[in-house]
């Protein structure tokens, strides 16, 4: 579809969140279709996890986004979908890959949302494709368990914070989950959640460096718990790490089932977003260093540095491989 | 894309206007891409006309709309696009054709919106495809000239009208044209206009028969004049004809370039929409007969009857052809 | 949240209606949460009234709106919420108060929308806070009764009006209430109604003075009756008064429960909006004087003048107090 002014920031770059939302919609369609391809109980595919995603090149207003999706692996209860996004300038015909994302879905019964159904197996062109898929499946399962433990953390407000501290840029928004945010089962679309997360992360990044900013990548996102229609969700973000040219922001999504439900507020999703700062000509700018004050902030900075160096090393290894 | 509660009426049927908007977006993308496929001045394709469109079967919330578009004819300054819409129930896999539409676009220069550029010619698989296209081109050109003359008409308000009269159900809305309604050239997308027209026509139909109603077809729509960002548009509808099971509504779009412009209000678009009334089970219901009062209303009723009988005859001829 | 092009007019000023909608959303969330804070029948808070609101400084595209809400008084069946809106330019860090609003909510049972539930009492820091709240409660109750009587008035269309007359700028729109306009109870959000009211009032103001206009204030708004999903609402506005630099517009909201309901059209809301006209540099411009023709128009002009002078006197008294 054509990118409109609404989809973009004031410099004309399409929000990462808009792209994440399109990716998730394509993933939800193809996996729901696959899970219902055999006779049996009807189901709706629910997003369980998005793998780390890089935004390879920015998309602009007026360009057309081409989204294509393919199922690449199925386990007994989950589906792996690979989604590619190309931006096309229909005036010049130029096309660029802007995103490749891998998403995991789980089929939930249309009659009983707490029942996970079985996934029809796909055919693999070669045996090794299946083995590689199985390996990815095991890895993400492990990672999902790990992040579940990190989940107690809460972002508290700070009074009169200094510029460039964590407290200075931290931000949060609330959103009442309405009917058009939801799937047939009455739960929030994963894509809607990701769009709100990107919005908050973008505000944190802009507050920190006071320039035009764009999403560079999103770490793996795990959807721990479903969010029901009528909930209020609180999306909060804080900066955890800065390198010379990038900022890492941690985002939490908490759900408050405040009507009709005896349940307490719970953590539904968390993730790390990486942003870069751009000049008016679209060139990367240096980012002010994050000032850490508390022990926790220093620890999180070091952890962020670890993730940053790991990603950098991985990218260099890939480039060397490609060059050989 | 997946149809959401927002796209549908309260009975769950997707608004004809939502479908028209998707059709137009697909048409605009493919024709803009084609017009820029050769070196030269960049252009944006502007909608000039939509041929008569039937809504063959209703689409529901939760279904996926598959839209495909193809260029079927090019004249020196215009492009004919054929768009097909299929609805897919991704739970059952059932697919149905919901719409086939033919649209005409004209490339306007990106630098000078008043300059119409030349269209690169397409290759035809067979000579007769080109001849048929040329025939369609000539026909629509003629029809466009004719409707331009009908254009002085204005819908005047009626005080305390009786039920089932024309004055009782006539309705109008105003809409301020914002940035996200517009193309790169700063003019309203044809699809946005059609969605508003369907909204007004649907309210006229519902006011007349006080039941759940759906769009059955839209007559050819000609876009006589462009509408600029910042205009207020007034979309007005009045019922012109009822058969036993259908209602015909005439819709006018007038633009008011009221900020910074010396120009008077002008008629930008006009068209006829046909609606049917449905029971809760989705069966067609009888429609209350329209009470015509003035000479003009009686004349318009007869003209509507003429269009109705012509369409009916054409459909029967097609069915006989198909049966042979 | 970040203000987008859609939220603003073509000069980049955020619509008052967008801000009113955000304010109401925050108010609805905090009061619904409070009303469900004790065991008992679950409820949803419905907007009953918004006190007079001034738009202290315009908000622009790209700025971030910070909305905070606090419960300041509870009576047996109603909750008073104070909402503050700050605009923040995240590039410069500059913050301005743009709005302070006071809203009254009433908890309706989730099981039976016609049943008003009891509100859990809040604790006051000092006894006088409770007394002041009680005084505000009594005052708004009185005012609500009074406005209910003004409610029979209807805006009739005028044929070929002269510029600057009441008939020339009067405008109305219709809107079909869809699922995403509604609360969990299936009634229109107060904020959605206010946004439409601001839209019509803005068009009336722009038609009158043909310049860029912004909302300066909104008089107290009483929500006399709920509006159900599936209704058509007609929002009409007419100018009642002009001073040298401001315009007062009266707006009516009428609901037409036309599907499946035997009920007649009824007046749901009414209010006065005040607008100012701005030059391209954002400076206030003189406003063309309103030409009143009928006795009713002259009476309404005098009433509007009364409100204008009263507000002006109140503001001067406050400034003198502040100066002492």
Is residue C42 domain-shared with residue C123, that is, in the same domain?
yes
List chains adjacent to chain A, taking adjacency as at least 3 C-beta pairs closer than 8 Å.
Answer: B, C
Residue B269 falls within a domain, yes or no? yes
Binding-site residues on chain C for chain B (CB distance < 8 A)? 5-6, 9-10, 156-157, 159, 171-176, 178-180, 199-200, 202-203, 206-207, 210-212, 229-230, 232, 256, 258-260
Is residue C140 domain-shared with residue C172, that is, in the same domain?
no
A119 Cα to chain C: minimum distance (Å): 33
Tell if the CB–CB gap between B10 and C202 is shorter than 8 Å: no
**pTM across the whole model:** 0.80
Nearest to A119 by CA among A82, A72, A75: A75
Please determine, for residue C225, whether its predicted confidence score (pLDDT) is greater than 90: no
Please give the interface size between A and C, counted as residue pairs whose CB atoms are below 8 Å apart: 57
Residue of chain C whose Cα is closest to the Cα of B157? C157
Nearest to C64 by CA among C88, C80, C100: C88
pLDDT value, residue C148: 66
C287 Cα to chain B: minimum distance (Å): 14
B176 Cα to chain C: minimum distance (Å): 8
Tell if the CB–CB gap between B91 and A64 is shorter than 8 Å: no
Q: Considering only the beta carbons, identify the residue of C6, C26, C180 that sits closest to A6.
A: C6
CA A44-A46-A49 angle, 5° bins? 155
pLDDT tens digit string along B236-246?
999 999 999 99
Q: Considering only the beta carbons, identify the residue of B36, B62, B179 that sits closest to A93.
A: B36
Tell if the CB–CB gap between A180 and C184 is shorter than 8 Å: no
Token pair of B14, please?
A: 């997707």
DSSP codes joined into one string, B137-162: HHHHHHHHHHHHHGGG------SSPP
Residue of chain B whose Cα is closest to the Cα of C208? B258
Please determine, for residue C261, whether its predicted confidence score (pLDDT) is greater than 80: no
Name the pLDDT band for B122 (thresholds 50, 70, 90). Answer: very high
pLDDT value, residue B107: 94
Q: What is the DSSP letter of B281?
A: T
How large is the greatest C-alpha to C-alpha distance in chain B, in angstroms?
61
Token pair of C18, please?
A: 């967008």
The three-state secondary structure class of A22 is: helix
Selected for mutation to probe chain C from A3, A9, A175, A176 (highest C CB count within 10 Å) is A176
pLDDT value, residue B261: 65
Please determine, for residue A261, whether its predicted confidence score (pLDDT) is greater than 70: no
Residue of chain A whose Cα is closest to the Cα of C93? A207
Domain end: B92, B115, B146, which one? Answer: B146
Residue of chain A whose Cα is closest to the Cα of C60? A10
Look up the ipTM and state it: 0.72
Please determine, for residue B71, whether its predicted confidence score (pLDDT) is greater than 90: yes
Is residue C193 domain-shared with residue C92, that is, in the same domain?
no
Taking each helix axis as running N to C, give the angle between helix C16-35 and helix C190-209, from 0 to 180 degrees, rounded to the nearest 10: 160
Residue B254 annotated among the catalytic residues of the structure:
no
pLDDT value, residue C90: 76
Chain C residues touching residue B13 (CB < 8 angstroms): none
pLDDT value, residue C262: 66
Please give the interface size between B and C, counted as residue pairs whose CB atoms are below 8 Å apart: 75
Is residue A255 domain-shared with residue A216, that is, in the same domain?
yes
Token pair of B45, please?
A: 């394709």
pLDDT value, residue B241: 97
Q: Please state, as a whole number, how many other Cβ atoms lie within 10 Å of the Cβ of residue A127.
A: 8
> Under a CB-based contact definition with an 8 Å cutoff, are residues B40 and B47 in contact?
no
Q: Considering only the beta carbons, identify the residue of B174, B175, B179 that sits closest to C5.
A: B179
Q: Which of B69-83, C220-234, C305-319 has the highest mean pLDDT?
A: B69-83
Q: Considering only the beta carbons, identify the residue of C175, C178, C256 that sits closest to B6.
A: C178
The residues near C149 (Cβ < 8 Å, ≥ 6 apart) are none
pLDDT value, residue A104: 95
Chain C residues touching residue A206 (CB < 8 angstroms): 90-91
pLDDT value, residue A156: 80
Give me the half-sphere count of Cα atoms (radius 13 Å) on the Cβ side of residue C86: 10
Tell if the CB–CB gap between B110 and A93 is shorter than 8 Å: no
Q: B27: left (phi > 0), else alpha (psi -120 to 50), else beta?
A: alpha
Is residue C105 domain-shared with residue C206, that is, in the same domain?
no
> Under a CB-based contact definition with an 8 Å cutoff, are residues C97 and C67 in contact?
no
Please determine, for residue B79, whether its predicted confidence score (pLDDT) is greater than 70: yes
Tally the domains of chain B.
2
Q: Map tokens 């000078």 to a residue.
A: B112
Find the mean pLDDT for residues B127-135: 95
> Under a CB-based contact definition with an 8 Å cutoff, are residues A182 and A188 in contact?
yes
Q: Map tokens 């697909």 to a residue.
A: B26
Find the mean pLDDT for residues C236-250: 96
Chain C residues touching residue A9 (CB < 8 angstroms): 2, 62
Please determine, for residue A260, whether its predicted confidence score (pLDDT) is greater than 70: no
Residue A180 falls within a domain, yes or no? yes
Residue A24 falls within a domain, yes or no? yes
B42 Cα to chain A: minimum distance (Å): 6
Taking each helix axis as running N to C, give the angle between helix B190-209 and helix B16-35, from 0 to 180 degrees, rounded to the nearest 10: 160
Residue C160 falls within a domain, yes or no? no
> Strand pairing partners for A69?
A83
pLDDT tens digit string along A154-199?
788 788 888 999 999 999 888 888 877 887 778 899 999 999 999 9
Chain A residues touching residue B186 (CB < 8 angstroms): none
CA C311-C313-C317 angle, 5° bins? 115
pLDDT value, residue C149: 59
A228 Cα to chain B: minimum distance (Å): 16
Chain B residues touching residue C258 (CB < 8 angstroms): 206-207, 210
For residue A126, CA distances in Å to A69, A159, B132 come to 20, 59, 48
Tell if the CB–CB gap between A93 and B64 is shorter than 8 Å: no
Please determine, for residue C11, whether its predicted confidence score (pLDDT) is greater than 70: no
Chain A residues touching residue B105 (CB < 8 angstroms): none
pLDDT value, residue A322: 76
Active-site annotation holder among C7, C181, C198, C254 = C198
Residue B64 falls within a domain, yes or no? yes
Is residue A172 domain-shared with residue A279, that is, in the same domain?
yes
> Strand pairing partners for B252?
B236, B270
DSSP H stretches of helix in chain A = 16-35, 127-149, 166-169, 190-209, 295-323
> Under a CB-based contact definition with an 8 Å cutoff, are residues C148 and C142 in contact?
no
Q: Map tokens 């400084």 to a residue.
A: C57
DSSP H stretches of helix in A170-280 = 190-209
pLDDT value, residue B3: 75
Higher local confidence (pLDDT), C260 or A44: A44
Residue of chain C whose Cα is closest to the Cα of B200? C174
Q: Which of A3-7, A116-120, B291-295, C22-26 has the lowest mean pLDDT?
A: A3-7
Residue C28 falls within a domain, yes or no? yes
Binding-site residues on chain A for chain B (CB distance < 8 A)? 1-2, 4-6, 25, 28-29, 32-33, 36-37, 42-44, 61-62, 64, 88, 90-93, 110, 179-180, 184
C240 Cα to chain A: minimum distance (Å): 35
Residue of chain A whose Cα is closest to the Cα of B29? A90
Q: Is B138 exposed, middle or buried (0-12, 13-18, 19+ CB in 10 A)?
A: exposed
The residues near A148 (Cβ < 8 Å, ≥ 6 apart) are A222, A224
Domain end: A117, A146, A175, which one? Answer: A146
Please determine, for residue C187, whether its predicted confidence score (pLDDT) is greater than 70: yes
> Under a CB-based contact definition with an 8 Å cutoff, are residues A195 and A50 in contact?
no
pLDDT tens digit string along C49-79?
999 888 888 888 778 888 999 999 999 999 9
pLDDT tens digit string along B137-173?
999 988 887 776 665 677 777 777 888 999 999 998 8
Name the pLDDT band for C197 (thresholds 50, 70, 90). Answer: very high
> Under a CB-based contact definition with an 8 Å cutoff, are residues B194 and B153 in contact?
no
Structural domain harbouring C108: 2-146
Token pair of B153, please?
A: 């008409």
Alpha-carbon span C254 to C268, nearest angstrom: 5
DSSP H stretches of helix in chain C = 16-35, 127-149, 166-169, 190-209, 295-323
The residues near C289 (Cβ < 8 Å, ≥ 6 apart) are C164, C242
Tell if the CB–CB gap between B42 and A1 is shorter than 8 Å: no
Residue C19 falls within a domain, yes or no? yes
Higher local confidence (pLDDT), B62 or B258: B62
Chain A residues touching residue C24 (CB < 8 angstroms): none
Residue of chain C whose Cα is closest to the Cα of B15? C178
The pairing of beta strand B266-278 with beta strand B247-256 = antiparallel
Residue B170: CATH number of its domain = 3.10.129.10
Nearest to C112 by CA among C42, C36, C216: C42
Is residue A72 domain-shared with residue A19, that is, in the same domain?
yes
Tell if the CB–CB gap between C1 and A199 is shorter than 8 Å: yes
Residue of chain B whose Cα is closest to the Cα of A67? B1
Is residue B108 domain-shared with residue B202, that is, in the same domain?
no
Active-site annotation holder among A7, A13, A36, A198 = A198
Of all residues in chain C, what percent are helix, strand and coil, respectively (each to 5)?
A: 30, 35, 35
Tell if the CB–CB gap between B174 and C258 is shorter than 8 Å: no
Q: Please state, as a whole number, how many other Cβ atoms lie within 10 Å of the Cβ of residue B278.
A: 17
CA B247-B250-B254 angle, 5° bins? 155
Q: Is A180 exposed, middle or buried (0-12, 13-18, 19+ CB in 10 A)?
A: middle
Tell if the CB–CB gap between B206 and C259 is shorter than 8 Å: yes
Chain A residues touching residue B6 (CB < 8 angstroms): 179-180
Alpha-carbon span A218 to A197, nearest angstrom: 10
Is residue A16 domain-shared with residue A56, that is, in the same domain?
yes
> Under a CB-based contact definition with an 8 Å cutoff, are residues B212 and B8 in contact?
no
B316 Cα to chain C: minimum distance (Å): 34
Is residue C135 domain-shared with residue C197, that is, in the same domain?
no
Is residue B135 domain-shared with residue B180, that is, in the same domain?
no
Domain end: C78, C113, C146, which one? Answer: C146
Q: Is A201 exposed, middle or buried (0-12, 13-18, 19+ CB in 10 A)?
A: buried
pLDDT tens digit string along C287-307?
999 999 999 999 999 999 999
pLDDT tens digit string along B9-35?
767 788 888 899 999 999 998 999 999
Is residue B226 domain-shared with residue B139, that is, in the same domain?
no
Residue B170 falls within a domain, yes or no? yes
Tell if the CB–CB gap between C92 and A210 is shorter than 8 Å: yes
Q: What is the DSSP letter of A247?
A: E
Residue C84 annotated among the catalytic residues of the structure:
no
Tell if the CB–CB gap between B90 and A180 is shorter than 8 Å: no
Nearest to C204 by CA among C257, C262, C247, C161: C247
Residue of chain A whose Cα is closest to the Cα of B90? A33
Cα end-to-end span (Å), chain C: 38
Q: Considering only the beta carbons, identify the residue of B1, B28, B110 that sits closest to A25.
A: B1
Tell if the CB–CB gap between A10 and C44 is shorter than 8 Å: no
């Amino acid at each position: 579809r054509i990118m409109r002014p609404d989809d973009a920031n004031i410099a004309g770059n399409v929000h990462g969140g808009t792209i994440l939302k399109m990716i998730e919609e394509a993933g939800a369609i193809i996996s729901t279709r696959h899970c219902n391809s055999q006779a049996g109980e009807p189901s709706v595919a629910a997003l369980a996890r998005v793998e780390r995603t890089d935004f390879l090149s920015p998309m602009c207003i007026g360009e057309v986004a081409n989204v294509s999706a393919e199922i690449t692996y199925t386990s007994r209860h989950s589906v792996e979908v690979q989604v590619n996004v190309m931006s096309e300038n229909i005036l010049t015909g130029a096309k660029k890959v802007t995103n490749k994302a891998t998403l995991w879905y789980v089929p939930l019964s249309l009659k009983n949302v707490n029942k996970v159904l079985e996934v029809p197996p796909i055919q693999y062109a070669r045996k090794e494709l299946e083995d590689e898929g199985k390996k990815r499946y095991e890895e993400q399962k492990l990672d999902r368990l790990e992040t579940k433990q990190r989940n107690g953390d809460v972002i508290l407000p700070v009074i009169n914070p200094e510029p460039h501290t964590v407290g200075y840029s931290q931000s949060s928004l609330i959103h009442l989950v309405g009917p058009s945010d939801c799937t047939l089962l009455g739960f929030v679309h994963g894509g809607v959640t990701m769009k709100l997360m990107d919005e908050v992360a973008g505000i944190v990044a802009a507050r920190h460096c006071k320039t035009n900013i764009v999403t560079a990548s999103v770490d793996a996102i795990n959807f721990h718990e479903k969010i029901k229609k009528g909930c209020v969700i609180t999306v909060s973000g804080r900066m955890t790490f800065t390198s010379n040219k990038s900022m890492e922001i941690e985002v939490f999504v908490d759900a408050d089932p405040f009507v009709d439900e005896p349940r307490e507020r719970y953590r539904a999703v968390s993730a790390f977003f990486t942003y870069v700062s751009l000049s008016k000509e679209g060139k990367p700018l240096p980012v002010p260093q994050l000032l850490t004050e508390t022990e926790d902030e220093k620890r999180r900075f070091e952890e962020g540095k670890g993730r940053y160096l790991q990603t950098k090393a991985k990218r260099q290894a890939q480039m060397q491989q490609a060059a050989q």
